[in-house]
Structure 1
Amino acid sequence: MPLVKKTVRARLTLLYSGLFVVSGAALLTITYLLVSNTKRSVVLRNFNADGAPLPPADFLDDLTERARAEAERQHQETLQSLLTYSGVALAIMTVLALVLGWLMAGRILRPLRSMIASIQRISARNVHDRLAATGPRDELKDLSDTVDGLLHRLETALDAHKRFVANAAHELRTPLTLEHALIEETLTDRTATLPQYRSLCERLLELRQQQAAMLESLLTLAGSERGLSQREHVDLSEIAERTVTAGRMAALHEGVRLEPRIDSAWTTGDPALVERLVANLVDNAIAYNVPGGSVEVSTGVRDGRAVLTVANTGTLIPAERVDDLFEPFQRLDRSAGRAGHHGLGLSIVRAIAAAHEAVVEAEPGPEGGLRIEVTFPGVRELVLSMAEGGMAGQGLAEH
C-alpha cells in the first residue's frame, strides 16, 4: 500500500488543528474544574420571620439533607451536560479548524507553489528567466530574490563557460589548421627536399609545443578555480626575485629593462600557484611591451597584507578594456606579444588570486602599459578567518 504523501500543506494543517485542539481542550478542562469546584449550598427560609412557630428540629435536619442531595444531583447533571456539550462543540470546532487550516495553509503556500512551478520550467536554455516575486518584504520574497540571484550567477557562469569553450575550440583549431596546411603543402610539392621536410618537422614541433603550453594553461586555470585544499607559508619576495632572475634573458631579448624592488612579504597559500601567478604577470609585462620599455616588479607589506605590483610600459590601453584582459583568450591585439601567448595569462592570475582570497587591481598607465597590483591576505588575517571556520592549518601563526 503506497504511503500518503506528507505535503507541507498537510503538515501545516495538522499543526494548526493540533494547536487549536490542545488549546480548546485546555480551556474546557479549566472551565470544567472551575464549575466542579463551585460550592454547593442550601438556603432555607427562616420560618420565624413572620412570627410563625418554628418546625421541629428533626424535620429541619431531614429537609436540609434532602435539599443537599438534590443540589448534588443537579450539580452532577450540570457537569455531565457541560462535559457532553463541550465535547460536541470541540469536535465541531476541530473539523472547522481542519478546514480553515487547510485553506489558510494553501493561501500561505500559494506563492511557494508558484515559485516551484517557475523553477521547474527553467533549464539551461531559459536560465535568463526570473521568479520576480511581488508583494511585501517577507521570507517568501527573500527566498524569491535569493533564487533570482542564484539564477543570475548561473547564467553568468554558463555564458562564461560557453565563451570559454568557443574560444578554446577556436584557439585549438587554428594550429591544427596550420599544421594541416603545412603538411599538405609539403606533400603536394614533388620537388620537396630533405631540408624542407626537416623545416616542416621543426615547425610542427613548435606548433605542438604551443598547443601543449596552452593545454597546460587550461589545466592550471581549471585547477585554480577549484580553490585550495591546503595552505603553506609563502615568501612572496623570494618567488618574485626568482621569477625576475628567470625572466632577465627574455627581457633582454625583447629589449625591455627589468627593475625589481623586492621587500620581504609573507602570505599563505599554494607556493606553486603563487609562483605561476607571479610568472604570468612578469611574462605578460615583458611580452606586451615596447622596445626600450621597462617592467617594474615590487613586493612589500601594506596594512599587514602582502602586496605584489607589476607595472610595464607598452601601448595605450583603454580603461574600459582593462577588465576584458582578465577574461580567457582576450587580447587587445591578437598579433601582439610573443608567440605562444593565447590570452590565458591574466585569467589564470585572476583565478589563482581568487583561490588565495587575494584582490587584483589593474589600471592602465598614463603613457601606455598596465599596472597590476595583487593584495594577498596577511598571515595573521588568514589564521583568524580559518580558525573561525575550523580550518586553521598547522604552523600558520609562526610568522
Structure 2
Amino acid sequence: MRVRLTALYSALFTISGAVLLTITYWLMRRSKWVIIVYDDSGPEIREHLERLRAAQLRALLTQFGFAFAVMVAISIALGWLVAGRVLRPLRTMTATIQQISARNVHERLAATGPRDEMKDLADTVDGLLGRLETALNAHKRFVANAAHELRTPLTLERALLEEILTDREAGLESYRATSERLLALSKDQGRLLEALLTLASSERGLDRQEPFDLSDLARQALDSAHLEADARGVRIDTRIAPAPSAGDPALAGRLVANLVDNAVHHNVTGGRIEVATGFRAGRAFVSVANTGPAIPPQQVGRLFEPFQRLGERTARSDGHHGLGLSIVRAIATAHGAAITAHALPDGGLSVEICFPTTAAPGDPHMPDTPQPHGLHTSATSSPGHRPNHPDR
C-alpha cells in the first residue's frame, strides 16, 4: 500500500510538473522580442539576436529538464514519507489486532484523534471485537452448562449400572427397575441433544424461505399440549386469527410449540393460558400468556439464556433443561422477528413475537387483530380446551 501510494503521489506530481513546464516553455517561445536598430548593420544584429534567443531557449529547456528530474526524485522521497505517515495508524491497528486472541478479546483499539476514515475504521473494529467478546462469552457459558447437563445423567447412569452389578442378590425386578430408570435417562438425554441441535441450527440462520401461517402452527402446538394441560387442570383460551409470514415452517412451529409448552409446564394447578395470533401494524404476531409463579421483572431477560431456570426445579426433576425460551429467541432472531416479554403482576409470563408478514400493506383481507383481553378477564373455556374447537 505504501509503494502504491508513493507511486500515485509521484505520478500526480510528474504529470502536473510536466504540464506546467510545457506550458511555460510554450509561452516563452511565443513571446515576441522588440529590436530597435540605429545603424546600417540592422540585419546582422537581428540574426545575432535570433541565434541568441534560440540558444537561451535551449538552455532554458535543459534547465527545465534538470529541475524536473530533481523534483521528481524529491517527490518520490516526499511521497514515501507522506504515505508512511498516512498509513501509520493502519499499521498500529494491524499490529494490535494481530495480538488479540480469545484470551484478550476484551482489548480495544481505542483510537483517538479527529473523526476521519481511520477513526471510523478503528471504531468499527472495536464494535466487531465487542460483538465477538459477547459471542465468545455466551459460547463459553453454553459449553460449560451443556457439559454440566450431560455429565450429571451420565454419572447417574454409571452409578445405577455399578449398583445393579455389585448387588449379588438383585433379581429380575431390580434389573427391570434399573432398566426403566436408564431408559428414562436416555430419553431425557435425547431430548436435550435434540434441543441443542435445534438451538445450534437456529443460530446459523435460515436455509430456506417458505410461507406459513402462525395460526396453523398455534393450533398444532395446542393439539400437542392439551394432554399435559388436562393433567394439570390448566385452562386454555385462544384468539386465533390468520397471521401469514415466511421462513422455515419447521423452526417456526418449534418456536410456537416451545412457547405453549413453557406456558403449560411453568403454570399452577388450575391456572390459565391465553394463546393469540393475528395481524397488527403490518406484522404477524403470536402471543402466549400464562399464570404461574411470580417472576421478578429484572429476571425476565435471563429466562431467554440457555440453561436458565427460576426456582429450585432442575432438569433431573422436571424433564426440562432450560432451553425452551433460548430456542425461541434464536428462531425469532433468525426470522427477523421482535420479541416482547414481561412478567405479569399476579404471576406468570407474557411473550409476544412479531414476524415480518407476507400480506400486502393495506390488504382488506388482513384487518388488524384486536389486542388479547389478557389473563385478568373472566374465562369461559374449560380446562385443556382443545384448539380445534371454534376460536374465541
In 2, Cα distance between equivalents of 1:115 and 1:231: 40
Check if 1:22 corresponds to 2:22.
no
Choose from 245, 249, 256 the match for 2:234.
256
1:326 paired residue number = 304
1:377 paired residue number = 356
Higher relative contact order (CA 8 A, sep 6+): 2
Secondary structure at the counterpart of residue 297 of structure 1: strand
Aligned residue identity for 2:336:
E
In 1, Cα distance between equivalents of 2:159 and 2:270: 36
In 1, Cα distance between equivalents of 2:312 and 2:12: 71
Check if 1:344 corresponds to 2:323.
yes
CA contact (8 A) 1:280 1:349 kept: yes
1:157 paired residue number = 135
Q: Offset of 1:333 from its aligned partner?
A: 2.3
CA contact (8 A) 1:42 1:64 kept: no
Check if 1:32 corresponds to 2:25.
yes
1:205 paired residue number = 183
Q: Offset of 1:316 from its aligned partner?
A: 0.7
Aligned residue identity for 1:85:
Q
Choose from 338, 342, 367 the match for 1:363.
342
Q: Offset of 1:198 from its aligned partner?
A: 0.7
Q: Offset of 1:341 from its aligned partner?
A: 0.7
Check if 1:288 corresponds to 2:281.
no
CA contact (8 A) 1:311 1:370 kept: yes
In 2, Cα distance between equivalents of 1:144 and 1:278: 41
Check if 1:308 corresponds to 2:301.
no
Secondary structure at the counterpart of residue 131 of structure 1: coil
Q: Offset of 1:325 from its aligned partner?
A: 0.7
Aligned residue identity for 1:126:
N
CA contact (8 A) 2:243 2:357 kept: no
In 1, Cα distance between equivalents of 2:15 and 2:61: 16
The equivalences for 1:227-266 within 5 A come to 227-266=205-244
1:389 paired residue number = none
CA contact (8 A) 1:305 1:378 kept: yes
Q: Offset of 1:190 from its aligned partner?
A: 2.1
- Greater shift after overlay, 327-336 or 146-155? 327-336
Secondary structure at the counterpart of residue 126 of structure 1: coil
2:94 paired residue number = 116
- Relative to 1, partners in 2 of residues 1:180 and 1:80: Cα closer, same or farther, differing over 3 Å? same
Considering only CA atoms, is the larger Rg found in Structure 1 or Structure 2? 1
Aligned residues: 360
In 1, Cα distance between equivalents of 2:217 and 2:16: 72
- Relative to 1, partners in 2 of residues 1:372 and 1:263: Cα closer, same or farther, differing over 3 Å? same
CA contact (8 A) 1:288 1:336 kept: no
Provide, for residues 95-118 of structure 1, a one-character-per-residue CA deviation record: whole Å limited to 9, x for no partner: 221222222111111111111111
2:192 paired residue number = 214
Q: Offset of 1:64 from its aligned partner?
A: 3.6
Provide, for residues 5-26 of structure 1, a one-character-per-residue CA deviation record: whole Å limited to 9, x for no partner: xxx1222112112111111111
- Greater shift after overlay, 64-73 or 134-143? 64-73
CA contact (8 A) 1:41 1:68 kept: no
- Relative to 1, partners in 2 of residues 1:84 and 1:110: Cα closer, same or farther, differing over 3 Å? same
The equivalences for 1:48-59 within 5 A come to none
Choose from 147, 164, 168 the match for 1:186.
164
Provide, for residues 143-167 of structure 1, a one-character-per-residue CA deviation record: whole Å limited to 9, x for no partner: 1111111111111111111100000
Secondary structure at the counterpart of residue 333 of structure 1: coil
In 2, Cα distance between equivalents of 1:271 and 1:290: 31
Q: Offset of 1:186 from its aligned partner?
A: 2.0
Aligned residue identity for 1:332:
L
Q: Offset of 1:380 from its aligned partner?
A: 5.0
2:381 paired residue number = none
After superposition, the CA RMSD in angstroms is 1.6
- Relative to 1, partners in 2 of residues 1:326 and 1:204: Cα closer, same or farther, differing over 3 Å? same
- Relative to 1, partners in 2 of residues 1:72 and 1:323: Cα closer, same or farther, differing over 3 Å? same
CA contact (8 A) 1:295 1:313 kept: yes
In 2, Cα distance between equivalents of 1:273 and 1:107: 53
Secondary structure at the counterpart of residue 36 of structure 2: coil
Aligned residue identity for 2:209:
R
Aligned residue identity for 2:269:
P
Secondary structure at the counterpart of residue 361 of structure 1: strand
2:110 paired residue number = 132
2:124 paired residue number = 146
